[in-house]
Structure 1
Amino acid sequence: MSRPRRFGTLALALLLAACGSSPEQGSAPSVSEEDRAYGAEQHPKLLAEFGGAYAGRQSAYVAALGERIATAAGLPGRCTFTLVNSDVVNAFAVPGCFIYVTRGLVAVVRTEAELASVLGHEVGHILGSHAQRQQRRSVWRTLGVLAVSLSGSEAMTRLAGQAAQYFTLRYSRTQEYEADDLGLHYLQQAGYDPYAAAGMLGALQRQERFMAASGGRDAARGIPEWALSHPLTEHRVERALTAARETGLADDALPERKQAYLDAVDGMLYGDDPQQGFVLGRRFAHPVMRIAFEAPPGFALTNSPTAVQLSGPAGLRGEFGGGPMPSGGVEAYAEQLLRQIVGDGPAQVEAAERIPLDGISAVALRASLAGRNGPVPLSIAVYDDGAGGAFHFVIIASPSDPQTAQIADLFRSFTRLSAAEAATLRPRVIETVVAKPGDTATTLSRRVADPHPQALFLLLNDLPANTALTPGTRIKTVRYGAPR
């Protein structure tokens, strides 16, 4: 979560306008000027919402690799490739051939060819005009969407437009297969091993299993963002392998450029950016804002540039965000936030209560919103940041399990960090090392800076446990970097 900008977290609505059509069969690939203008208009908004462009040298690497794929697809100089500063594993495309890949995804693939296959797949979606055709079937997943499913409340529908929304464009199976086929063709045309397409899908499956096993980014979901919009199946992986075999090439007949990839990712930021704070299990700590809180057992946290998402037992959902403080202080902030959520809908609102915290002015506000199956519990907490702004929680619980005590514990856990405490929060970076005689996956994983060091090491390097590594083999690890 970056510094608070507005009330709530009014996330960007990616209105993928139907500006373009599929090229005629046999016609040269093209991207219309209308689509390019649309993509250029959306580009800064997307970057602002999803963490910005990554500032490291890896950005130039991704852009150059993307241009190589675009040229192979017949679109030289017509696409814009951006490395996004997010640890979420994702890639997506906007009409106009604006293509985005996160550093989280760059970290989990194994070779340059696998990364190229991701970019080729997204170019395939562009040339197939899939974004335009999918816009009417797009899915918004928000805090409010969950509440609507629990309550059927119109007030909760309004919340869907106000709290922690993010966009996922779900492609059909036919569209995924078409993008797979096009991407594999572009991969081969660019001179890369076509078997890397199946390898890339396998890497994403490993990420899915890692997140599920480690209680990852969203314990209720346990799958990477890319898999939500690009569903992964065993059949899809096998299909990619079959397509690679049908090229008539043997595996590794064309290069994967693993060493070039390892050169590029060495030193890249891994995990949370300090400017957005750190999720440390159930704890969130921000070294720049110098704040922290801890969620109760059974809760999971997901960080983003605009807010921290919370999920908990019985479908509980929430967010932690912030905004400017009104003249009436924390009480006025809480009331304004409540009005933003409820609008004109019916609600039973309890009197605001002070949260007893040393040196922090804080208030809790609770309400019951009319739902289809009974009252829907809504809880708000607001904290004065001491600098003209405020932080807040918004929590929606299930009518059948309001989690009252757990939410109260969460609200009381908010605290300020001392300078010394903030200094202990360090970023992590990818470090490539060369295996020495006697090194195994078990021994090398001990140097990995993660709560699940061996699992992460095996994920990043696609290795089985207890593998004896050949001396001279170069592998990825994760270490703590200098404070930023």
Structure 2
Amino acid sequence: MTPIRAVSRPAVLTLLVFILAACGTTNVNYVTGEEQRGAYTWAQEVQLGTEADRQIQAQFGVYGEDASLTAYVERVARDVLSTSAYTDPNTPAEIRNTPFTFRILDSPVVNAFALPGGYVYVTRGLLAYLENEAQLAVVLGHEIGHVLGRHSSEQAARAQLNQFGLLGAAVLGGVLGGGQVAEGILNYGGTGLQLLQLKYGRGAEREADRAGVAYAEFADYDAAEAARFFVSLRRLSEQAGQSVPNFLSSHPDPDERAQTIPQLASQYDPRGTQVNEAGYMSQIEGIVLGEDPRQGFTENGVFYHPELRFLLDYPNGWQTQNSPAAFLMGEPNGQAVMQLTLAQAQSAQAAGQALRSQQGVQAQAAGALSINGNSAYRVEGTAQQQNGTAAFSATFIEYGGNVYQILGLTSVNGFGTYGNQFRSTAGSFARLTESRYLNRQPSRLEVMRAPAGTTLQALLQGRTMPLGLSDLEIAIMNQTDLTSRLPAGESVKLPE
């Protein structure tokens, strides 16, 4: 698995057209059993989810290192799913016959989400922050609740498709020409998620919470355990310096959820009792913690990719973001952006000529060149976008059996300032040969039993922190703090 993959924009645009063409309908919410207004039928939801799943896999990557962990998450998910309306004989056959798909995404971000039609995702980052199987069951139940509650369809109908128009502009590379040129492309890595997971209202989130607790309790889990995870979410948001994490911006406050989850769980008699901390810890031990340097990392103004064996300089002070679909670089004031991706072409020249032939593209300069011994082709000019005209420099480089595209975008007036930076960055693309970068390995999670009288802070001494994580975040991951005495024998998650 490599972190730079080609993502088919035509597929995304086809999906956008499908969404825009969806007509309003009356749906049954299979969490509450009530009718509600929706934007599409169940069959359309399945089609939408199936198309979106391909993009999500390309965008984030699937965590496939541990088949046992994947099977474990799926087993818990199906136990929870079996307690929902999905298996009720009174539920229409088209629902019961729709296979649900559960995936672990290869992302350090603490997140879980669902797509219409039965697609549920958790990240490896989220798995590291959970403490036991009961917490996992509630999270999975929550996302199943979104699917069966038809919340995407309901929210799309309420949005009157206005939101799709804005997101469509982002997909097409809009927001070009104007103050924040970088906004569209820097959000491109999350376009699939923004497009396909509408921000649910707080009512839908509370409904999914109730569903998650109910499904977990019916599967004999102690759903009240999930309260501690929501405390962790609140601590993470405070650590990030914001009221709530971005992906929770439409959710109820984490502290509210930490209080209501036990209240919801207490309504079930008999209460679920299964927690299974030991079994959960054994499953997640060895999972990658934080950013995985094998998939690319930055250091001192250089992007290194050990697996694909290349390096790339980027301008001093520019912000960066790496994902399986692209490595993104943005001028801090949003005046220019660059994007490194794989091009869908057999050669650099073929990729460049394909760009020149696109509608709305005016090539003002084009030609072959060599970059550090690699055949390359560069096209520069302007492109008509939904929000105006953008100036671009696109360099295509043949290397390692792939064709890489380094695309720089700015306003027409800004090209005189940033054009040379676009060319300089593309010109720095080179073979990676230094063993200290080629051999960089990810940090992995180790589970140990706490000795008597120790603290997490003491246990972390001498350990190297994973990329993107701090001591405090390791404490939040353990749902404790750095200086409190740990009970003897308690399971503790540490960087290996």
Q: In structure 2, do the counterparts of structure 1 residues 247 and 370 end up closer, same or farther at CA, with 3 Å as the change threshold?
A: closer
Residue range with higher mean Cα deviation, 123-132 or 200-209:
200-209
Conserved? CA contact 2:7–2:55, under 8 Å: no
Shift of 1:59: 0.7
SS in 1 for 2:28: coil
What one-letter code is carried by the residue in structure 2 that aligns with 1:194?
A
In structure 1, the residue matched to 2:192 is 166
Shift of 1:353: 8.6
Asked if residue 99 in structure 1 is aligned to residue 112 in structure 2, the reply is no
1:51 is aligned, of 61, 68, 88, to 61
Q: Spell out the pairing of 1:198-209 with structure 2 (5 A cutoff).
A: 198-209=227-238
What one-letter code is carried by the residue in structure 2 that aligns with 1:45?
R
SS in 1 for 2:324: coil
What one-letter code is carried by the residue in structure 1 that aligns with 2:404?
F
What one-letter code is carried by the residue in structure 1 that aligns with 2:486?
L
Q: What do residues 267-302 of structure 1 show as CA deviations (whole Å, max 9, x unaligned)?
A: 123345577434558643222211122433433333
Conserved? CA contact 2:465–2:471, under 8 Å: no
Shift of 1:72: 2.6
Q: In structure 2, do the counterparts of structure 1 residues 294 and 116 end up closer, same or farther at CA, with 3 Å as the change threshold?
A: farther
In structure 2, the residue matched to 1:257 is 276
Asked if residue 75 in structure 1 is aligned to residue 89 in structure 2, the reply is no
Instruction: Measure, in 2, the Cα distance between the counterparts of 1:248 and 1:325.
Output: 58
Residue range with higher mean Cα deviation, 366-375 or 285-294:
366-375
In structure 2, the residue matched to 1:429 is 444
Instruction: Measure, in 2, the Cα distance between the counterparts of 1:373 and 1:132.
Output: 28
Instruction: Measure, in 1, the Cα distance between the counterparts of 2:26 and 2:285.
Output: 39
In structure 1, the residue matched to 2:304 is 285
Q: Spell out the pairing of 1:432-447 with structure 2 (5 A cutoff).
A: 432-437=447-452, 439-445=454-460, 446-447=462-463
Instruction: Measure, in 2, the Cα distance between the counterparts of 1:233 and 1:71.
Output: 27
Q: Spell out the pairing of 1:314-353 with structure 2 (5 A cutoff).
A: 314-315=333-334, 316-326=336-346, 329-330=348-349, 332-337=350-355, 339-340=357-358, 343-344=359-360, 347=362, 349-350=364-365
Q: Spell out the pairing of 1:195-274 with structure 2 (5 A cutoff).
A: 195-210=224-239, 212=240, 226-227=247-248, 231-234=250-253, 237-245=255-263, 247-248=265-266, 254-272=273-291
SS in 1 for 2:440: coil
What one-letter code is carried by the residue in structure 1 that aligns with 2:214?
H
Shift of 1:321: 0.7
Shift of 1:406: 4.7
In structure 2, the residue matched to 1:2 is 2
In structure 1, the residue matched to 2:129 is 108
Instruction: Measure, in 2, the Cα distance between the counterparts of 1:474 and 1:94.
Output: 34
Q: How many residues in Structure 1 have an aligned counterpart in Structure 2? A: 457
Asked if residue 63 in structure 1 is aligned to residue 74 in structure 2, the reply is yes
Q: In structure 2, do the counterparts of structure 1 residues 456 and 368 end up closer, same or farther at CA, with 3 Å as the change threshold?
A: same
Q: In structure 2, do the counterparts of structure 1 residues 34 and 385 end up closer, same or farther at CA, with 3 Å as the change threshold?
A: same
1:395 is aligned, of 403, 408, 412, to 408
Instruction: Measure, in 1, the Cα distance between the counterparts of 2:108 and 2:280.
Output: 18
Q: In structure 2, do the counterparts of structure 1 residues 371 and 268 end up closer, same or farther at CA, with 3 Å as the change threshold?
A: closer
Q: In structure 2, do the counterparts of structure 1 residues 324 and 73 end up closer, same or farther at CA, with 3 Å as the change threshold?
A: closer
Q: In structure 2, do the counterparts of structure 1 residues 25 and 443 end up closer, same or farther at CA, with 3 Å as the change threshold?
A: closer
What one-letter code is carried by the residue in structure 2 that aligns with 1:310?
M
Q: What do residues 93-117 of structure 1 show as CA deviations (whole Å, max 9, x unaligned)?
A: 2334332222222122233222222
Shift of 1:258: 2.7
Q: What do residues 9-60 of structure 1 show as CA deviations (whole Å, max 9, x unaligned)?
A: 667548677899324787599xx99589648955873564242363411111
Residue range with higher mean Cα deviation, 265-274 or 103-112:
265-274
Instruction: Measure, in 1, the Cα distance between the counterparts of 2:50 and 2:127.
Output: 26
Q: In structure 2, do the counterparts of structure 1 residues 419 and 298 end up closer, same or farther at CA, with 3 Å as the change threshold?
A: closer
SS in 2 for 1:313: coil
What one-letter code is carried by the residue in structure 2 that aligns with 1:196?
E
1:119 is aligned, of 140, 155, 172, to 140
Q: Spell out the pairing of 1:358-397 with structure 2 (5 A cutoff).
A: 358-362=372-376, 364-369=378-383, 376-385=390-399, 387=401, 389-397=402-410
Instruction: Measure, in 2, the Cα distance between the counterparts of 1:424 and 1:143.
Output: 40
Q: In structure 2, do the counterparts of structure 1 residues 24 and 420 end up closer, same or farther at CA, with 3 Å as the change threshold?
A: closer
Q: In structure 2, do the counterparts of structure 1 residues 151 and 371 end up closer, same or farther at CA, with 3 Å as the change threshold?
A: farther
SS in 2 for 1:397: strand
Q: What do residues 109-159 of structure 1 show as CA deviations (whole Å, max 9, x unaligned)?
A: 23322222211111111221112223446657589469533438xxx9x99
Shift of 1:70: 1.2
Instruction: Measure, in 2, the Cα distance between the counterparts of 1:448 and 1:181.
Output: 40
Q: What do residues 421-445 of structure 1 show as CA deviations (whole Å, max 9, x unaligned)?
A: 5542213321112223564333333
What one-letter code is carried by the residue in structure 2 that aligns with 1:201?
F
Q: In structure 2, do the counterparts of structure 1 residues 204 and 448 end up closer, same or farther at CA, with 3 Å as the change threshold?
A: farther
Q: In structure 2, do the counterparts of structure 1 residues 227 and 338 end up closer, same or farther at CA, with 3 Å as the change threshold?
A: farther
In structure 1, the residue matched to 2:431 is 416
SS in 2 for 1:166: helix
Q: What do residues 171-201 of structure 1 show as CA deviations (whole Å, max 9, x unaligned)?
A: 1222122212222222333333333344333
2:465 is aligned, of 449, 456, 466, to 449
- TM-score (ref. length: structure 2): 0.74
> Any unmatched runs of 5+ in structure 2?
36-40, 88-95
Q: What do residues 191-214 of structure 1 show as CA deviations (whole Å, max 9, x unaligned)?
A: 33333344333333444455x47x
Instruction: Measure, in 2, the Cα distance between the counterparts of 1:317 and 1:181.
Output: 43
Instruction: Measure, in 2, the Cα distance between the counterparts of 1:427 and 1:25.
Output: 41
SS in 2 for 1:148: coil
Residue range with higher mean Cα deviation, 428-437 or 464-473:
464-473
Instruction: Measure, in 2, the Cα distance between the counterparts of 1:304 and 1:222.
Output: 25
Residue range with higher mean Cα deviation, 313-322 or 237-246:
237-246
Q: In structure 2, do the counterparts of structure 1 residues 425 and 82 end up closer, same or farther at CA, with 3 Å as the change threshold?
A: same
Q: Spell out the pairing of 1:149-160 with structure 2 (5 A cutoff).
A: 149-151=175-177
SS in 1 for 2:86: coil
Q: In structure 2, do the counterparts of structure 1 residues 474 and 201 end up closer, same or farther at CA, with 3 Å as the change threshold?
A: same
> Any unmatched runs of 5+ in structure 1?
214-220, 480-484
